[in-house]
Structure 1
Amino acid sequence: MTVTEGESMTDERSTGPDSSAVRTALWRALHVRLDPPPHVLADEIGLRLADPGDGWRDRDDMDPVATRLFRASIVARARFVEDLVVEQAGRGVGQYVILGAGLDTFAQRRPEIAARLTVFEVDQPGPQAWKRQRLTALGFGVPDWLRLVPVDFEAGTSWWDRLAAAGFDPAQPAVVASTGVSMYLTRDANAATLRQLAALAPGSTLVMSFMPPLELVDARERPGLRATADSARAAGTPFLSYFAPAEMLALARDAGFADARHVSAAMLDQRYFAGRSDGLRLSVGEELLVATT
């Protein structure tokens, strides 16, 4: 079945978001409710979308101490992406693509910026249908500048073709965010995605998160990262790819990007957590690539 942008998606099976998308949304809310200000990112709309019930903070994966590094990482990467989008929008870039959007809430939290863009959220059809329903139920709706782009990756549907069908203009520059996605793809699939994105119009920017191999991570964090990988495997979504920063930079340059730089966890720490009285810092288990055309 083909669903065009703006068409009712009630015929799509509304399966809800996957567990990692929900966990990410709840960690963002936990940052607001548990960590003292200033908050790196203030997002409780994802919590409202997920609607996990009153006992959500009692979940094992919401332990205030055990999740400290991970929730800091989640809010840091989201804040970095949003700062980049705001910067590029100020330079006249008019398109923002979120691959694996999950419960992203940029459009709802930052409408003063988002309404100046066309925002494309790419995700599986079931979760997209569910999110559309939740946005409507909560009164946010789906404005014309927000395009929910359903892509059945398991059926081999081309996300690029669906993006174009939703109104994306490849001749105009864009910001593309792919966070929390690369580890679920094979190395070849990541390389193919980078080649596709390197063909974007000049002036486009990609920000992509990636996981470094465990041997490059602080030994104190390895048990938690192994547990995260085990949980992903048990959920049927195993981590398939790890990249050293130099490997990811080489992959981006080989794909055809004009420039690529590594934004380390240490750099995000300095940018967003320096001087905090609570000592909050982020995990070094995820790094960022920023590549431009």
Structure 2
Amino acid sequence: MRAAQPSQTAMMAAAARAAHLVVDGEPHLFRDTLAATLLGGQAEELIGYHRAHGGHLVLSGTRAQVTARAAYTEGLLGDRFEQYVVLGAGLDTYALRRAPGGPRVIEADHPATQQWKRDLMAAANLAAPGEPAFAPIDFESGDLMAALREAGLDPGRPALVSWLGVAMYLTSDAIDGTLAALGRLPRGSELVMEYALPPELRDERGAGYASFALAAAAERGEPWLTFFSPDDLPALFGRHGLEVVEHVRQADCVDPALWRRQDGLRPADLCRLVRATVTT
């Protein structure tokens, strides 16, 4: 992202989560009931764009991507984790939607994006008790574990770590450094990371989405930098004490019945999720 500016990707992801409840019919893949509230005065314009052009592959594809990955990841929380770490949180609203007694939420993101989010939360009167703890970090150069501990992470208790919509924007060195930090979490901690597939592994819908979205991302200063095949990840994760448990296609993030739809929302194989557990 450009220095001192909030992430445009974060804004578009929140808009897609909000628009899903307006543009797409039942059954909904995921219900982010606070995304529109958090977007405030920008919500109507952004959701209106989905209303007017929601059938476009990029807009419908973004709605499918952000809702399916959120449904899968939040579905892992249950009562197994007392701590939930959201890396590259953007305008994620889990901390504001969570039920009383839910896990402590720590959000790690660029300082400019976090200040933008704080301002939006204040304007929308979305504050404590659901307010997350903020850990400002530059994933390319910062000390992630130090930032998380400063924000209140308990290093003795397992955590679920969500890393969605971020890795493709980072260098391989930044990804390696982040995995090294996460490998120091307590045994039993889990990571869900979204990663982008190289061109030869994308399906037709994923390739079509990429032909539009990657150029647009680069134009706004947030280019996709890193791609993985599923076979690349066990060794990479294993170097840092993380064992890959499963790879999850977008189509498999939710109950298959939710994809039997009357609208144009369809899964694409452009990005996948990998779930891993800390073993050392």
User: What TM-score do you get using the length of structure 1 for normalisation?
Assistant: 0.85
Q: State which drifts further: 217-226 or 100-109.
A: 217-226
- Name the SS of the counterpart of 1:33 in structure 2: helix
Which residue of 27, 34, 37 maps to 1:38? Answer: 27
Distance apart, 1:209 and its partner CA: 0.2
Contact 1:252 1:260 survives alignment (8 Å): no
SS at match of 1:31: helix
Deviation of the 1:167 alpha carbon: 1.3
Q: Distance in 1 between matches of 2:21 and 2:260?
A: 18
Instruction: Find the aligned partners of 2:67 and 2:162 in 1 and give their Cα distance.
Output: 14
Give the letter for the 2:24 counterpart.
D
2:120 pairs with 116, 134, 139, which one? 134
Partner of 2:90: 102
Matched-pair contact (CA < 8 Å) for 1:16–1:131: no
- State the number of aligned residues: 273
State the distance in 1 between where 2:193 and 2:23 align. 28
**Runs of 5+ unmatched residues, structure 2:** none
Match of 2:76 among 72, 77, 84: 84
Question: Structure 2: how far apart are the matches of 1:116 and 1:269?
Answer: 22
- Cα distance in structure 2, aligned partners of 1:46 and 1:16: 20
The Cα offsets for residues 115-164 of structure 1, whole Å up to 9 and x where unpaired, read as 4321101111122122223222322213387202222456x332221111
CA contact 1:132–1:142 (8 Å) conserved in 2: no
1:65 maps onto 2:55 in alignment = yes
Equivalent pair of 1:269/1:281 in contact (CA under 8 Å): no
Please list, as runs of the form range in 1=range in 2, the aligned pairs for 1:143-222 lying within 5 A after superposition. 143=129, 146-153=132-139, 156-222=141-207
| Alpha-carbon offset, residue 186 of structure 1 | 1.4
For the 8 Å contact 1:96–1:175, the answer to whether it is kept is yes
Deviations 1:16-59 (A, max 9, x none): 63111111011111110011112111224222222315433454
Segment of structure 1 superposing worse, 191-200 or 145-154 = 145-154
CA change 1:269–1:175 in 2 (3 A) is closer
Partner of 2:45: 55
In 1: Cα distance, 2:218 partner to 2:172 partner: 17
Greater mean deviation of Cα atoms: 19-28 or 215-224:
215-224
Distance 1:143 1:244, change over 3 A: same
Q: Secondary structure at the match of 1:169?
A: coil
Map of 2:66 onto structure 1: 74
Change (3 A) 1:106 1:196: same
Distance 2:51 2:191 in 1: 30
- Alpha-carbon shift at residue 69 of structure 1 (Å): 2.5
1:26 aligned residue (8, 15, 37): 15
Identity %: 35
2:105 is aligned to 119
In structure 1, stretches of 5+ residues that fail to align are 1-13
On the 8 A contact 1:229/1:239 being kept in 2, the answer is yes
The question of whether the paired residues in 2 share the 8 Å contact of 1:40 and 1:272 is answered with: no
Is the 1:198–1:255 contact (alpha carbons within 8 Å) kept by the matching residues of 2?
Answer: yes
Instruction: Report the residue type matching 1:182 in the other structure.
Output: A
* Matching residue of 2:225: 240
